[in-house]
Structure 1
């Protein structure tokens, strides 16, 4: 995980939201350590001013999976970069496709991820009506402000 440019380490929920809010584009995303569960990571994506958080975890075989919308079949990936690539497509059980990676240096740089950059045209889906219980939508509905400078 440490070699992945979008991995920000143990920055905490509020710092993750601040970094996504600084960029402000729907579909910007990063990965951070979970605040509450050891060995679990969080995939955070900005959508319509809110940060949606999805838990990422490794099973006993080393495969990666993400908690998504109920009813979406669980998918396992041998490498985390394959999971990220899959979630760059629409209708994968998250609020919106992963479009703009936020690197640990705090800047969106789709070139730094090479093959993980969004497809040409960067298709965006509309937010899904039913969000998963596993998703931690900013509970107090605090809007992420785009006025960071």
Structure 2
């Protein structure tokens, strides 16, 4: 089911997810990837003000999908992942930025598609400038901040959750 979504990038990891969103560079661009830390879970990643916020997606025993959003926001369940994405395209859903611009896996596999898109080029938004600095696990969206050269210092500490 997830494999049929154009925004599903598979097991790319946090760093690659941040890089791909950084290539697009627009607030509200998003993708879905496998969770590195929780088998069978997925992550919805969205860019907002040069920070990547990550929200864990999971399926309950009844087969409905939900996202871990901001505390205090009622958890909503959706029968299909496409319905969850459609709901989060509206403002005020408990995530840092509503979903505006899908970053498709096809564009990543076929770079020539980037040249014809309306996205900024990688030279306008350097993917290497995006650093992953993950706070301890919480049900809130987690974010990565742009901290320049400090990115090489975190290599061994990434994704220990």
Whether the TM-score (by the shorter chain) exceeds 0.5 is yes
> CA–CA distance in 1 between the matches of 2:147 and 2:49?
9
Aligned to 1:29: 30
Deviations 1:106-134 (A, max 9, x none): 26899xxxxxxxxxxxxxxxxxxxxx932
1:137 to 136, 140, 143: 143
Give secondary structure in 2 for the equivalent of 1:32.
strand
| Residue 78 (structure 1) shift | 0.1
SS of 2:18's partner is helix
Distance 1:32 1:104 in 2: 10
Unaligned runs of 5+ in 1: 111-131, 145-149
**Which structure 2 segments of 5+ residues have no match?**
118-136, 149-161
Q: Deviations over 1:14-41 (max 9, x none)?
A: 0000000000000000000001000000
1:47-80 C-alpha deviation (Å, 9 max, x unpaired): 0001000000000010000000000001000000
Q: Does the CA contact (< 8 Å) of 1:20 and 1:46 recur in 2? A: yes
Q: CA deviation at 1:143?
A: 4.6
Bigger Cα Rg: 2
TM-score by length of structure 2 reads 0.71
**TM superposition shift of 1:142:** 3.2
Higher helix share: 2
Count of aligned positions: 121
**1:114 aligned residue:** none
Mapped pair 1:63 → 2:64: yes
1:45 is aligned to 2:46: yes
**TM-score under structure 1 length normalisation:** 0.76
User: In angstroms, what is the RMSD of aligned CA positions?
Assistant: 2.1
Confirm or deny: 8 A CA contact 1:34 1:41 kept in the other structure. yes
